[in-house]
Structure 1
Amino acid sequence: MPYHATAQRPAWSDLPQRVRAAVATRLGAPVVQARTAGAGFTRGFAALLRTADGHRAFVKAAPHVEQPQLVDWYAREAAILTRLPAGLPVPRPRWTLWEAGWFVLCLDAVDGHTPRLPWNQVELTATLTAFTDVTEALADPPDELTALGLPHLADLAREDILWWGEVAAGREPVPPLPAPARGRLAELVALESRLPGYAAAATGLTHGDLRVDNVLVDTTGAAWFCDWSWLCHGPAWFDLVTLLITGYADGLDVDSLFTAHPAAAGAPGDALDVTLAALAGYHLTAATSAPPTASTHLPAHQRWTGEQALAWLSHRQAWT
């Protein structure tokens, strides 16, 4: 999956003139270069901007009438980033503004790239090390962050992640399944059904959307984590699984990487299998369609992710 080139975004020149002028005013100089972000699956504007005086900033923007959901996500991310503990590998917000019906979020620029796939061992180590810092900082989050009324992964699972039960009940069609997983619907339902209980027992916060395209590796080799709109109450090991799915596809010993990481400390013995089952059902079911506000690459990402999660689970369960 070419995660560095999945987005379909408007160019800087596509933004209304009033929005471009307002952004330039806040940045303090005219924008002379805009490098559109290639990663991600939304149609929102996102670009690295350089001004005439040499300053750089990363800017996201969306129109409220056409993309109200994106506006909500960007506003939520701004509130979260402002309250995250200091010192984390996270782009910090500078300002937000409303202009001509558009919401704009400006962040510090990170000079980096999406991790190369297949995973480079140095970049993988840097990413897992940085995630350790995030895990530790969010295990006991500050009150100002939890006061935002963040969602709970347990509720998100019940409302939107668990789909094998819907398939078993005949309310959703059976997605295409590889041979090892055929006839395993009862086991998949049983596994995914444990996720809400496991998630509810967690006391910390977790990113909630830690895919490889939400990671940047900077020029020093350090990893940064982006797109914080889905921060929620839940276990860090959930994010660890979503991050390592690409590693399974690369043939890495992801079982060992999961077990050895501090985020997995204290996780239930079958937490990895439970999460893989839930992710497989969610992605394979969602891959049948894409909302008009999403990139047309989204179904391919969801299908691939679901297939890899199911293959990893089948391998662990010795399904043949």
Structure 2
Amino acid sequence: MPYHATAQRPPWHTLPGAVRSALSTRLGAPVVAAETAGAGFTRGFAAVLRTADGGSAFVKAASRAEQPHLVDWYAREAAILSRLPAGLPAPRLRWTLYEADWYALCLEPVHGRLPRLPWDPAELADTLAGYADLAAALADPPDDLVALGLPRLADLARDDILWWDEVAAGREPAPPLPDPLRGRIADLAALESRLPGYAEATTGLTHGDLRADNVLIDATGTAWFCDWTWLCHGPAWFDLANLLITGYAAGLDADTLFAAHPTVADAPDDALDVTLAALSGYHLTAAASVPPTASTHLPAHQRWTGEQALGWLARRQGWT
């Protein structure tokens, strides 16, 4: 999956003049260059802006009239970033701006790149170590972050992630499946059904959308974790499994990497299988109904992710 080129974003010069002027004023100097972010699956503006005085910033922006959901997502991310514990490898919020019915948030730029895929083992090791520290810091989150009323993974699972039961009941069409797995829908539904109960018992927070394209590797090898819109109350091992799907696809020993990670210390024995069942059903069904506001690359990402998650689970279960 070419995650460096999945986004379909408006270029800087297409933003309304009033918005460009307001952003330049807030940045303190005219914008002389804009490097559009190639990763991601929304159609919102996102770019590193460079100014005439040598400064730089990462800015996201969206129109309330045309992309109200993105405005809500960006505002949520801004609120989260302003309350994250200090010292985490996450972009820091500088400011937000509302101008001409556009909302923008400005972040400290991370001078890095997406991880190499297939994963370089050293980069993956650094990413997993960074995520262990991140998860530890969020296991007992600060009160002002909790006060935002963040969603619970258990509720998100019941409302939007668990789809195999819908397929089993005939309320959702079955996605294309390999012959050996067509008779396993009931097993998949049974596995994914355990996720809400496992997630309900968690008091800490987890990123909620930890994928390779939400990680940046800087010149020192440090992994930075981006796109914080979906922070939620839930177990960190859920995000770990999501991240390691790309490791499994690369032929790495993802089972051992998962089992050895600190976030799995208190996880149920079947946590990985339960998560893979849930993620495979979510992505394979979602690939058939992508909203028009998303990148046209999103269905391919979801199909690929669902297939890899299901393949990993099938191997672990001995279904193939």
For the superposition of Structure 1 and Structure 2, which TM-score range results when normalised by the shorter chain?
over 0.9
Q: Could you tell me how far apart the structure 2 residues matched to 1:306 and 1:97 are? A: 37
Q: Could you tell me how far apart the structure 1 residues matched to 2:43 and 2:101 are? A: 17
Q: Partner amino acid for 1:191? A: L
Number of the residue aligned with 2:214: 214
Number of the residue aligned with 1:310: 310
Q: Quote how far apart the aligned CAs of 1:127 are.
A: 0.6
Number of the residue aligned with 2:191: 191
Q: Could you tell me how far apart the structure 2 residues matched to 1:315 and 1:305 are? A: 15
Q: Quote how far apart the aligned CAs of 1:303 are.
A: 0.3
Number of the residue aligned with 1:30: 30
Is contact 1:181–1:310 with CA below 8 Å preserved after alignment? no
1:142-157 aligned within 5 A: 142-157=142-157
Number of the residue aligned with 1:111: 111
Q: Quote how far apart the aligned CAs of 1:125 are.
A: 1.1
Q: Could you tell me how far apart the structure 1 residues matched to 2:68 and 2:180 are? A: 41
SS of structure 1 residue aligned to 2:7: coil
Q: Partner amino acid for 2:182? A: R
Q: Could you tell me how far apart the structure 2 residues matched to 1:160 and 1:207 are? A: 17
Is contact 1:63–1:102 with CA below 8 Å preserved after alignment? yes
Q: Quote how far apart the aligned CAs of 1:27 are.
A: 0.5
SS of structure 2 residue aligned to 1:268: coil
1:266 aligns with 2:242: no
1:163-191: CA deviation from partner (whole Å, max 9, x where unpaired):
00000110100100123322011110100
SS of structure 2 residue aligned to 1:49: strand
Number of the residue aligned with 1:170: 170
Q: Could you tell me how far apart the structure 2 residues matched to 1:264 and 1:45 are? A: 36
1:50-106: CA deviation from partner (whole Å, max 9, x where unpaired):
100111100000000110000000000000000000000000000001000000000
Number of the residue aligned with 1:282: 282
1:201-225: CA deviation from partner (whole Å, max 9, x where unpaired):
1110000000111000011111000
Q: Partner amino acid for 2:82? A: T
1:78-97 aligned within 5 A: 78-97=78-97
Q: Could you tell me how far apart the structure 1 residues matched to 2:125 and 2:142 are? A: 27
CA RMSD of aligned residues (A): 0.6
1:180 aligns with 2:177: no
1:75 aligns with 2:88: no
Q: Could you tell me how far apart the structure 2 residues matched to 1:258 and 1:178 are? A: 26
Gaps of 5+ in 2: none
Number of the residue aligned with 1:19: 19
1:295-306 aligned within 5 A: 295-306=295-306
Greater shift, 143-152 or 174-183, is seen at: 174-183
Report how many aligned residue pairs link the two structures. Answer: 320
Q: Partner amino acid for 1:148? A: L
1:200-239 aligned within 5 A: 200-239=200-239
Q: Could you tell me how far apart the structure 2 residues matched to 1:180 and 1:310 are? A: 12
1:213-268: CA deviation from partner (whole Å, max 9, x where unpaired):
10000111110000000000000000001100000100000000000001111000
Q: Could you tell me how far apart the structure 2 residues matched to 1:182 and 1:221 are? A: 42
Greater shift, 173-182 or 271-280, is seen at: 173-182
Structure 1 ranges of 4+ moved more than 4 A: none
Query: What fraction of aligned residue pairs are identical, expressed as a percent?
Result: 76
Q: Could you tell me how far apart the structure 2 residues matched to 1:158 and 1:310 are? A: 20
Q: What is the TM-score of this pair, normalised by structure 1?
A: 0.99
1:49 aligns with 2:49: yes
Q: Could you tell me how far apart the structure 1 residues matched to 2:150 and 2:181 are? A: 35
SS of structure 1 residue aligned to 2:246: helix
Q: Partner amino acid for 1:253? A: D
Q: Partner amino acid for 2:100? A: A
Q: Could you tell me how far apart the structure 1 residues matched to 2:180 and 2:268 are? A: 25
Gaps of 5+ in 1: none
